[in-house]
Amino acid sequence: METRNYQAARRVQRPLRGWLRKVRKTLGFMAADMAKDLEISPSMVFQLERSEWKETITLKRLKEMAWAMECELVYCIVPREGKFEDQLMVYAKRLARGKVDGRRR
């Protein structure tokens, strides 16, 4: 699996108040305009930005917010370190030693 681009993205720090707010402000979108597009109140736009910052937003809502800013949500899971191939080798070694019980942390 090719993960080079995602490994680079993993090093990017999340903005202080979250990606939704940062992108909205950078692109010049007003909360009222987004609210109209999403058929929600402007205060709900701010609530959704807070929920993204608190990591409680749903993927569905995140995707809708991105779409309202003419963006697309890209969702990916990558290993914390190294490549997937490296993770597979670690797991295979643990499996060979009998130290795998079907759960991983």
Confidence tier at 97 by pLDDT (50, 70, 90): confident
CATH architecture for segment(s) 4-78: Orthogonal Bundle (1.10)
CB 20, CB 59: distance < 8 Å: no
Written as one letter, the residue type at 91 is: Y
Angstrom distance (rounded) from CA 72 to CA 94: 38
CB 78, CB 1: distance < 8 Å: no
Indicate whether 104 pLDDT > 60: no
CA-based radius of gyration for the chain: 19
Indicate whether 105 pLDDT > 70: no
Sequence-distant (6+) residues with CB within 8 A of 57 are: 48, 51
Q: What pLDDT digit, counting tens, does each position of 45-91 carry?
A: 999 999 999 999 999 999 999 999 999 998 877 777 777 777 788 87
Per-residue CA distances from 105 to 49, 92, 102 (Å): 29, 15, 10
